[in-house]
Structure 1
Amino acid sequence: MTTETARENPPSTIIAAFFGFLVSTVSAIAGGLLILSAHDEIAAALRRANPALAQDRLDRLTLLAQAVPVAIAVVIALVYLWLSFKLKAGRNWARVTLTVFTLLQAASLLTTEPSWAGYLSCGVAVVATVLSYLSPSNRYIAGVRRAG
């Protein structure tokens, strides 16, 4: 494989990993957005934790409890998307970073109560990670590294 070919034509394993990380990102966003439908549950939990809360304070805290995780999910999704494109371009550091993020995501399944979207996102990310380390992926990334 020539350097130009390596730079222009990622193998199917990298393409599949790229789309896998995209699907993982979309399903993670879907899971993050599920919190928007939990307004009443969040408000009830906050009310149980502090029955003396005024209604306007309860409303603000509920909104904050929804907005912060959604904002974090959006930032993480943007980073994942950026890393996915860098992986597709053959950047090994992006592959390593995505691997670390996938391991952290898998570990979080053990410490939280994930939704179906959390399991789906993690499963797809694990498959994408494995694909990114198969022989064709390794050759492609090595070729891009040599060309760079």
Structure 2
Amino acid sequence: MTTETVRENPPSTIIAAFFGFLASTVSAVASGLLVLTSRAEIEATLRKSDPGAAQDRLDRLTLVAQAVPVAIALVIAIVYLWLSFKLKAGRNWARVTLTVFTLLQAASLLTTAPSWAGYLSCGVAVVATVFSYLPPSNRYVAGVRRAA
């Protein structure tokens, strides 16, 4: 197997893992964007925690409470996308990193109140992780490593 063949023809298990991580990323971004639909709930919670706060202060705090999760979701999505493409290229370190991120994502389900999108994203990431370690994936990653 030449370097060109290895890099151009990842097995179907790697392709499935790649698309699984892409789908997980889209789902995670959707989950992060759900916070944009809960402005009134966020403002009500902030008002309860500080009943004497001025409306302009509440508006700023609400904006920050919405912007931070969205920004975090977008940064994570960019990293996930980059890692997904590196996995498709046969990089073992990307596969290991995605595995660690998937484990952290699964652990976060136990400590937070995730939305349906959070469960969906994690489930798809778990399936993608399994595909990335199936025998054809292992052979592909080993072949890329030897060719490098």
> Normalization by structure 1: what TM-score?
0.98
User: Secondary structure, in 3 states, of the residue corresponding to 1:57?
Assistant: helix
- What is the CA–CA distance in structure 1 between the aligned matches of 2:58 and 2:19, rounded to whole Å? 41
Deviation at 1:3, TM superposition (A): 3.8
Give the structure 2 partner of residue 48 of structure 1.
48
Q: Is the 8 A contact 1:31 1:115 kept in 2?
A: yes
How far apart are 1:5 and its partner, in Å?
Answer: 2.0
CA contact (8 A) 2:21 2:124 kept: yes
Supply the distance in 2 between the matched residues of 1:3 and 1:56 (Cα, whole angstroms).
60
Partner of 2:57: 57
Amino acid at match of 1:80: Y
Q: Tell me the CA shift for residue 2 of structure 1.
A: 4.2
Say if 1:7 and 1:143, in contact at 8 Å, map to a contact too.
no
How much is the aligned-residue C-alpha RMSD, in angstroms?
A: 0.7
Give the match for residue 17 of structure 1.
Answer: 17
The Cα offsets for residues 92-126 of structure 1, whole Å up to 9 and x where unpaired, read as 00000000000000000000000000000000000
Q: Percent identity?
A: 84
User: What are the ranges of 5 or more consecutive residues in structure 2 without an aligned counterpart?
Assistant: none
For 2:78 and 2:105, locate their aligned partners in 1 and report how far apart those are by CA, in whole Å: 16
Q: Which residue of 2 aligns with 1:139?
A: 139
2:138 and 2:2 map into 1 onto residues whose CA distance is 15
Who is 1:94 aligned against?
94
Shift of 1:7: 1.7
Aligned to 1:106: 106
1:2-57 CA distance string (max 9 Å, x none): 44322210000000000000000000000000000000000000000010110000
* Structure 1: runs of 5+ lacking an equivalent: none
| DSSP-derived class of the 1:10 partner | coil
